[in-house]
């Protein structure tokens, strides 16, 4: 029930049959990069979270979308076959009923949710946040508790098998072990490796803990003493994803260069070292319940699944895909500016759109915050801004935070006046409504 997330984020149809095993699989439908994955251990359902603000569960490559987050979904964890918790860049957790689609929003953090875990008894959710705290949320009812001790963003959390201890990692380079049920919630530093740690995984009976770090380290330590058991550090960095399949003794790590390493935890040796993503990085990983398939996601809008035994026999995924609609050198400057600054969030086609932001179709002359069905930030509801050459130029000259304070648009600018004008000219043509 571990959560994985950097940073995506999707719910789909609840069903009893898992995706087919032993063949390469692609799951397509997101409107932006995929940042989080989780697999339900009893049903095999794949859940994913994306930059398009949605969460979902997949069956036969068909998702049913659940919407509720107002920013990217960065972490996921199943409580059971009918409940899922997601965490987002909007600082919130959402507890979902995967059959009805009903949700409960949990708030209290002051930074993005980097990871989630569920206690073995299913009564508690732990959240790791960039605000430097660990949230402890009772599933049934009650106020959350927040543990503080790290000196930077908390990046991952993991409950011990007995539930009495909790482990956490941080950008401050430390691993901590918490007596979280005690009134004082004391902790000890289990390791301090200097570079930020992104992901942690506990082994069977909590005998060992593996971690992946910013410097490319993938190490395994004894949870009792902190002594090093194994080191699988390579020249590829950072380690962004880590997942363990206990029944088959497989530990997998994904890195910023798009590689997946599969480690045999019985003999502590590398079984597979696979260039998975042509455009890297690997942001999240998840094993199928039987350990035969491994799913991965990253900058692409596609989730990929490979048979573990055939890793290394496939070319890197996404070779035919490009971050631009066509090679950048073949584009005019205005289109290049749009693709770099806007295309990840905005479509140019008529609604509906699965992108994180509203479609730009029919943009010129339209009042800001007026596309039907899109959940705008309160600052844009009822605004007097009309999109024109002048207002679009001002948006990217000043930056969204200054032109529309409080909007959900990420802070970015186009500083050169000619680049802004070229993009405005391109948008006027590309967003024009087409006559039937």
- Tell whether 358 and 298 lie within a shared domain: no
- Judge whether 59 lies within some domain: yes
Cα separation, 343 vs 116, whole angstroms: 29
- Note the pLDDT tens digit of each residue in 316-332: 997 544 444 567 778 89
Model pTM? 0.81
Burial (CB count <10 Å: 0-12, 13-18, 19+), residue 273: middle
Cα separation, 304 vs 284, whole angstroms: 11
- Tell whether 192 and 286 lie within a shared domain: yes
3-state SS, residue 258: coil
- Judge whether 123 lies within some domain: yes
Residue with tokens 């957790």: 93
- Tell whether 275 and 352 lie within a shared domain: no
pLDDT at 326: 63
pLDDT at 336: 85
Cα separation, 23 vs 293, whole angstroms: 8
Which one of 281, 310, 339 terminates a domain?
A: 310
CB contact at 8 A, 42 and 289: yes
pLDDT at 154: 98
- Judge whether 420 lies within some domain: yes
Which of 348, 295, 238 lies closest to 57, judged by CA? 295
Give me the helices (H) in 41-80, please: none
- Judge whether 319 lies within some domain: no
- Judge whether 316 lies within some domain: no
Which one of 256, 278, 310 terminates a domain?
A: 310
As a whole-number percent, the residues of the chain with pLDDT over 70 amount to 92
**What is the domain extent for residue 165?**
4-310
- Report the chain's mean pLDDT, rounded to a whole number: 89
Comparing 156-160, 256-260, 397-401, the range with the smallest average pLDDT is 397-401
pLDDT at 14: 33
- Tell whether 86 and 125 lie within a shared domain: yes
Q: Indicate the helix (H) or strand (E) that contains 168.
A: strand 166-170
- Note the pLDDT tens digit of each residue in 19-40: 444 689 999 999 989 999 999 9
Whether a cis peptide bond, with omega within 30° of 0, leads into 370 is no
- Judge whether 155 lies within some domain: yes
- Tell whether 92 and 235 lie within a shared domain: yes
Give the CATH number for residue 411: 1.10.760.10
pLDDT reading at 136 higher than 90:
yes
pLDDT at 320: 47
Burial (CB count <10 Å: 0-12, 13-18, 19+), residue 19: buried
Comparing 18-22, 414-418, 420-424, the range with the smallest average pLDDT is 18-22
Q: How far is CA 324 from CA 28, 109, 232, 320, 342, in A?
A: 18, 35, 35, 11, 11
DSSP notation for 364-415:
TTPBTT--TT----GGGTT---B-SHHHHHHHHHH-HHHHSTT-SSPP----
- Tell whether 294 and 401 lie within a shared domain: no
- Tell whether 262 and 341 lie within a shared domain: no
- Tell whether 234 and 371 lie within a shared domain: no
- Tell whether 339 and 391 lie within a shared domain: yes
Which one of 310, 336, 356 terminates a domain?
A: 310
As a whole-number percent, the residues of the chain with pLDDT over 90 amount to 70
pLDDT reading at 9 higher than 80:
no
- Tell whether 304 and 335 lie within a shared domain: no
pLDDT at 102: 95
Rg of the chain's alpha carbons, rounded to an integer? Answer: 22
What count of other Cβ atoms lies within 10 Å of the Cβ of residue 287?
A: 24
Give the CATH number for residue 88: 2.130.10.10
- Tell whether 278 and 352 lie within a shared domain: no
- Judge whether 323 lies within some domain: no
CB-based contacts of 160, cutoff 8 Å, min separation 6: 166, 167, 202, 206
- Judge whether 34 lies within some domain: yes
pLDDT reading at 140 higher than 50:
yes
pLDDT reading at 6 higher than 80:
no
- Tell whether 131 and 248 lie within a shared domain: yes
Count of structural domains within the chain: 2
């Amino acid at each position: 029930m571990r959560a994985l997330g950097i940073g995506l984020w999707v719910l789909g149809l609840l069903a009893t049959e898992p995706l087919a095993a032993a063949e390469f699989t692609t799951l397509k439908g997101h409107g932006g990069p995929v940042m989080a994955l989780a697999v339900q251990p009893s049903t095999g359902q794949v859940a994913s979270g994306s930059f398009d603000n949605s969460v979902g569960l997949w069956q036969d490559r068909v998702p049913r979308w659940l919407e509720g987050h107002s920013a990217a979904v960065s972490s996921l964890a199943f409580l059971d076959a009918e409940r899922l918790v997601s965490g987002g860049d909007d600082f919130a957790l959402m507890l979902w009923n995967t059959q009805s689609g009903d949700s409960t929003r949990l708030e209290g953090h002051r930074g993005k949710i980097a990871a989630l875990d569920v206690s073995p008894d299913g009564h508690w959710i732990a959240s790791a946040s960039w605000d430097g705290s660990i949230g402890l949320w009772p599933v049934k009812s009650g106020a959350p508790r927040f543990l503080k001790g790290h000196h930077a963003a908390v990046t991952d959390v993991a409950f011990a098998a007995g539930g009495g201890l909790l482990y956490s990692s941080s950008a401050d380079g430390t691993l901590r072990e918490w007596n979280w049920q005690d009134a004082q919630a004391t902790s000890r530093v289990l390791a301090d490796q200097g570079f930020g740690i992104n992901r942690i995984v506990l082994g069977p009976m909590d005998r060992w803990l593996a971690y992946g770090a910013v410097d490319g380290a993938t190490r395994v330590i004894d949870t009792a003493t902190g002594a090093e058991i194994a080191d699988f550090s390579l020249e590829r960095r950072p380690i962004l994803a880590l997942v363990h399949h206990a029944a088959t003794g497989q530990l997998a790590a994904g890195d910023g260069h798009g590689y997946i390493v599969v480690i045999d935890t019985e003999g502590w040796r590398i079984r597979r070292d696979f260039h998975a993503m042509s455009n890297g990085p690997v942001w999240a990983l998840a094993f199928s319940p039987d350990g035969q398939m491994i799913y991965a996601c990253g900058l692409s809008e596609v989730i990929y699944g490979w048979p573990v035994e055939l890793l290394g026999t496939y070319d890197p995924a996404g070779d035919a895909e490009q971050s631009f609609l066509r090679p950048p050198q073949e584009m005019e400057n205005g289109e290049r500016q749009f693709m770099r600054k806007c295309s990840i969030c905005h479509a140019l086609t008529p609604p509906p759109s699965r992108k994180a932001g509203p479609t730009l179709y029919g943009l010129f002359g339209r009042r800001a915050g007026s596309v039907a069905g899109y959940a705008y930030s309160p600052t844009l509801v009822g605004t007097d801004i009309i999109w024109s050459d002048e207002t679009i130029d001002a948006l990217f000259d000043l930056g969204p935070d200054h032109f529309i304070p409080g909007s959900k648009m990420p802070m970015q600018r186009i500083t050169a006046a000619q680049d802004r004008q070229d993009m405005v000219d391109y948008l006027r043509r590309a967003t024009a409504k087409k006559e039937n």
